[in-house]
Structure 1
Amino acid sequence: MREQMLKSILSELNGSSADIEASAVISADGLTMAALLPQDVDEDRVGAMAAAMLSLGERTARELARGDLEQVMVKGEDGYILMSHAGKDAVLTVIARKDAKLGLIFLDAKRAAKAIADIL
């Protein structure tokens, strides 16, 4: 039931922009709670990497006195990976195209993260 609600939010998020290629909700310990990923992408690998990146981002923000972490963004030559907290115990991961309009994606991801936090 909860997984269906989370998938519904991810589906709405993915549908909000043609620039969003995939998304997932991952627990703080790296387990995938819900995902809409391409078939060639390993859910477990995405979960583990997102949890590790967020943990490192939190530590970096704290050590360099930047306050509480809001999001981690990775930019590669083929696109972006955006990770942000969705409540205390989950991470929203969004995979976007290289020419994505990031402002809109940040806004949509923030909205989705709040909806996910409300469910969890």
Structure 2
Amino acid sequence: MRTDSFQQILEDLNNSSADVEASALISTDGLMIASALPIGVDEDRVGAMSAALLSLGDRAGRELARGAIDRIMIQGEKGSVIMTSSGDEAVLTIMAKPNAKLGLIFLDIKRASEALSKLL
């Protein structure tokens, strides 16, 4: 039942904007909790990369005296990957199209992250 709720929130996030291509909720140790990824995207790879980047981002934030991180973002020529914590035990990762309206996506991510963290 809880997994269905996670899944619904991710699908709603994907449908909230045409710019959001995929989303996933991943434990901080890299295990996939729920995902709304397109066919052909490797869940294990997304999970492992998200956990590694979040861990490295947290460390960089501390080492460089930037405090707790809000989000990690990678922008590439084919789009963006945005990661944010969802509670203490998980990370919400989304993939967005190039030239996406990031302000709106950040708002949608924040809402989804809060909803997911309440269920964790």
Query: How many angstroms apart in 2 are the aligned matches of 1:9 and 1:80?
Result: 20
Alpha-carbon RMSD across the aligned residues, in angstroms, is: 0.5
Unaligned runs of 5+ in 1: none
Partners in 2 of 1:96 and 1:88 — Cα distance?
24
* Aligned residue runs from structure 1 range 16-27, under 5 A: 16-27=16-27
Shift in Å, 1:114: 0.3
Distance across 1 between alignment mates of 2:114 and 2:106: 12
User: What TM-score do you get using the length of structure 2 for normalisation?
Assistant: 0.99
2:29 maps to what in 1? 29
In structure 1, the residue matched to 2:50 is 50
Give 5+ residue unaligned stretches, structure 2.
Answer: none
Instruction: Kindly provide the amino acid, as one letter, of the partner of residue 117 in structure 1.
Output: S
Partner of 1:81: 81
Q: Count matched residues.
A: 120
**Regions of 4+ moved over 3 Å:** none
Task: Please name the residue that 1:99 is paired with.
Answer: 99
- Partner Cα separation in structure 2 for residue 23 and residue 108 of structure 1: 12
Displacement of 1:26 = 0.1
Distance 1:83 1:57 in 2: 10
Offset at 1:41?
Answer: 0.4
Task: For residue 18 of structure 1, give the secondary structure of its aligned residue in structure 2.
Answer: coil
Q: Secondary structure at the match of 1:111?
A: helix
Taking only the aligned residue pairs, the percentage that are identical comes to 57
Secondary structure (helix, strand or coil) at the match of 1:53 reads helix
Quick one: distance in 1 between partners of 2:98 and 2:119? 31
**How far off its partner does 1:69 sit?**
1.1
Tell me how far apart the structure 2 counterparts of residues 90 and 2 of structure 1 sit (CA, whole Å): 15
Match of 1:13? 13
